[in-house]
Structure 1
């Protein structure tokens, strides 16, 4: 619309304002009414003052009323998901509730009120240490197995706490992106991987008649003799990402990005025990059971499995 100065000389020379529609001119008058008298603005924009006040006191149109309903419900859904969802997932949620609106329309409404989904943060990196020889990359980025308990992926990340770093190990079933096992510890050793595997095995109960592929990076925790022996005894095929290639384990990396931006980043520096409890609640009560995933057709991992 352009910025108006308080000098009438500049305003009188700006003939472009008269080329706008009346609604646009009324909107300009409303915008600058705190700086200049309404009567003066009406003369400058070439409209009647009575017409401006009639426009100002008009009843909202049916579209404006619907926009308000859509925006109000979208913000409620955004609040329920802790500000995690972007406009695409909010749009899908609205469609499921029977709202009739376009994706771009919702995007414009959310931009109008300044709503933004949270940003992604970087994953911590690790230096490789000693261990057994790494295994070949058998997964080869095939991230969509047709059944559960066919491909598990795992990774470790670190979260800053008041006492120092808290390390988190997860085991994910690629079929429905469900976290079947996780473990938090102050020390990043093979124990954290073993405990997350044991929890996942106890929860998911894989069928030993079908081969299970377990994929991870080449970290020393995954190349430890205890972890590889535990997997081999159960007939699990071991696969590892290529050295320095995070995309080979993209799904686990993506989960840690979500965990940090949707959960731990908001908490600040709290104790390790408090952080471990919050991470457990996020995984069990939100990520696995409620949070929708675009790759799953906007269903939660548990909903997609059932």
Structure 2
């Protein structure tokens, strides 16, 4: 709101009002091996600062426990502004979930495929033949994180951490349908237009794109 103050002051005031941080629990363990296509190289190499829109897109998938089972959320972010430009949910974690998110992002942004780098982890959904064909058809260069190294896709991981801490963990039990609705509220009415980012100079992704 334009008030200039130290972050420690904000923390102290919030604590005096009874607010406490609710950090998500760390999970350990490895996913079972799958017979999939050979992964791409890590071309992005943690170069998360991008000076133009639609030059680097990053993507990942997370799972959310619902009253009627797991529901999966796939997002595509533009690294230039950290804006979520495509997302989709499904009860099945497969390549179709990724392709729906990619198609939404492509329809919204209409980028030049040969100038675009798409980065993800080595999940079987991103190495699936139909996903690779989608990229090749549009002449998109593909980059993938090194195996077992979540820091190579830190921006997507950070989004999901905030999505769960700031929103989903504060809700009571919800169904898969309600999870999708809450995801839409978080992304479309809070994260993209309102939530400020330190890496963007304290403005939201949409505001950052407007002023740049």
Give 1:143's match in structure 2, choosing from 48, 51, 56: 48
For residue 133 of structure 1, the aligned residue among 38, 41, 57 is 38
2:168 aligned partner: 264
User: Hey, which of these two has a bigger chunk of helix by percent?
Assistant: 1
Q: TM-score, normalised by structure 1?
A: 0.65
Q: Quick check: 1:214 aligned with 2:140?
A: no
Q: Among residues 69, 75, 100, which one is paired with 1:170 in the alignment?
A: 75
Counterpart check, 1:292 vs 2:193: no
Q: What is the rounded CA distance, in whole Å, between the counterparts of 1:100 and 1:261 in structure 2?
A: 25
Q: CA offsets per residue over residues 255-304 of structure 1, 9 Å max, x none? A: 11111111211223211011111101110110001000111011000000
CA, structure 1 residues 293+271, in 2 after alignment: closer, same or farther (shift >3 Å)? same
Q: How far is 1:117 from its partner?
A: 3.6
Q: Which runs of 5+ in 2 are unaligned?
A: none
Match of 1:20 in 2: none
2:108 aligned residue: 203
Aligned Cα RMSD in Å?
Answer: 1.8
Give the equivalent residue in structure 2 for 1:115.
Answer: 19
Specify which structure has the bigger relative contact order, considering alpha-carbon pairs within 8 angstroms and separated by 6 or more residues.
2
Does the 8 Å CA contact 1:289/1:301 hold for their aligned counterparts? Answer: yes
Matched, 1:228 2:132: yes
Structure 1 residues 197 and 102 mapped into 2: Cα distance closer, same or farther (>3 Å)? closer
User: CA offsets, 1:19-77, max 9 Å, x none?
Assistant: xxxxxxxxxxxxxxxxxxxxxxxxxxxxxxxxxxxxxxxxxxxxxxxxxxxxxxxxxxx
Q: CA separation of 1:138/1:268 partners in 2, compared to 1, >3 Å: closer, same or farther?
A: same
Compare CA radii of gyration and give the structure with the larger one: 1
1:304 equivalent in structure 2: 208
Deviation at 1:132, TM superposition (A): 1.2
Normalising by structure 2, we get a TM-score of 0.92
Question: d(CA) in 1 for partners of 2:80 and 2:25?
Answer: 25
Equivalent residue for 1:44?
none
Please say if 1:254 is aligned against 2:158: yes
For residues 107 and 285 of structure 1, the distance between their equivalents in structure 2, rounded to whole angstroms, comes to 25
State the distance in 2 between where 1:265 and 1:105 align.
Answer: 25
Measured in 2, the distance between the counterparts of 1:103 and 1:267 equals 26
Q: Once the 2 structures are TM-superposed, how far is the Cα of residue 101 of structure 1 from its aligned partner?
A: 4.4
Matched ranges for 1:8-27 at <5 A: none
Alignment deviations for residues 61-98 of structure 1 (CA, whole Å, 9 cap, x no partner): xxxxxxxxxxxxxxxxxxxxxxxxxxxxxxxx4xx1xx
